Amino acid sequence: MENSGAIILAAGKGTRMGLEYPKVLAKSDEGELLGILLKEVTSSPIKEIVLVVGFQANEVIDFVKRNFNDPRIKFVIQEEQLGTGHAVKVALKSLGDVSSVFVLLGDVPLVKKESLRLLLEHMRKHDHVACFYSMLVFKNNEYGRVIRDFYSGRVISIEEYRHCTSYQKLIREVSTGVFVFDFQSLNQVMNETGEYLLESCRSRNIEFYLPLILDVFAAKGMLYDAILTENSDEFVGVNKKEELTELNLALNRMRINKFKESGVEFRYPETVYVSPATQISENCVIGPHVYFFGENRIGAGNAIEGFTYLYDVSCGNKNLIKAFCYIEGARFGDSCVIGPFARIREGTKISDEVRIGNFVETKNAELATGVKVNHLSYLGDCSIGAKSNIGAGTITCNFDGFSKHFTKIGSECLIGANVNLIAPIEIGSRVLIGAGSTVTKNLHDGCLFVERADSKLIDGGFEKYCQRKKK
């Protein structure tokens, strides 16, 4: 590849996507389409890169210059967008001393440099003048169909979808649009026939498609071939909004596969979303319908059971997150158990060996080592000391209608069920608060606090109540 050039076609309007800017600047989960492709191409040893621009050319050029300071990149303006063949014809004049040239599409951004290397090696090994990737697509699509000889299986041509017969539209093998050419052969044929092909297409009111060059090769007895790829994700093209969704799904599958290779287990990977900025360490187990958004840092040996949403979460090691949890902007230590049905909101800092059970909500809360909050509690704007136990139904009443107030609970406290802590308030260490209490004042270390309303017991009260209601 060291003596190869690359032509990237990026002149299209993206009419079918309804965009007001160039299609190659459409954003995927990992950034602009053209940015993804250029990042891969510029990391390869390709000698020269010619970018063909057209529609809103200045915007594309500005984007590339802002993001890629690479002297190999040149720009060629295709004044009229007359087809992929015309774009290559325009770009060839800007290539210098190269032996081969790749032709890539700015809206097919996921192709890898290793795949380009294999394509080039295949062409050279078989002494062909061109080679391209094909793939099998079983749902309705508008890719160009690969036409093969029925007996030999040799590629005869690529037929653009809009020109296919009804029979040809049933063919499942399609062109990806990713080519490599012997530079001298392509340049020679383009110089000899390029103008004729362009005028012929104009007279028929069709575009000058690059595959027409293959027909000229065939007429001259020059051989070319196709490699049928098994990884169609790498060649997803974007011409419609729904295809941008398909591209994002392909990117997600690629990220998941990379984590699999590093020792992460996904029970049902087709149901999981992993954002580009998420990091997951080895020996983690990810259940079904887990969604990682934003920047997440997941340590080693964690298990996330399923149906859980994580956004900007930093998680230590060997934690268990049970099903149906919603976690955002939180930090975890090690060996914690969270959920099921827990909501951990922004500002929550959880130390080691903490237990947060079902229907517990935290916000701006700091829980020290060994804290247990097993049921039905709200902990907002508070800190809780080590090994304290928070009973079911406990609420830190932090909002007075105008301002938020803080609750501080010391270590080794036992807070009974259905306790209201009216902030601002400070509870010392080793404090026992009886169930049903409402606490409005600070409590010192080692005390017992019980609040009970007056109660009445009326013998025969049930019958008296019923008789009064019947009157």
State the catalytic residues. Answer: 375
Report the alpha-carbon distance of residue 153 to residue 228 in Å, rounded. Answer: 12
Burial class (CB in 10 A: 0-12, 13-18, 19+), 358: middle
- Per the CB < 8 A criterion, the answer to whether 353 and 378 are in contact is no
Reference 6, options 37, 48, 65, 60; nearest CA is: 48
Reference 438, options 415, 421, 454; nearest CA is: 421
Reference 223, options 137, 317, 118, 132; nearest CA is: 132
- Per the CB < 8 A criterion, the answer to whether 332 and 319 are in contact is yes
- Per the CB < 8 A criterion, the answer to whether 159 and 168 are in contact is yes
Chain centre to alpha carbon of residue 311: 13
Tokens 């498609």 belong to residue: 209
Report the alpha-carbon distance of residue 149 to residue 159 in Å, rounded. Answer: 14
- HEC secondary structure over 203-255: HCCCCCCCHHHHHHHHHCCCCEEEEECCCHHHHCCCCCHHHHHHHHHHHHHHH
DSSP secondary structure string for all residues of 426-445 = EE-SS-EE-TT-EE-S-B-T
DSSP secondary structure string for all residues of 54-98 = -TTHHHHHHHHHHH---TTEEEEE-SS---HHHHHHHHHTT--S-
Helix (H, G, I), strand (E, B) or coil at 166: coil
CB atoms within 10 A of CB 51: 28
Residues 6 or more apart whose Cβ sits within 8 Å of residue 152: none
Q: In sequence order, which ranges of 75-182 are alpha helices (DSSP H)?
A: 84-92, 113-125
Task: Give whole-number Cα distances, 33 to 24, 235, 294, 424, in Å.
Answer: 5, 12, 20, 52
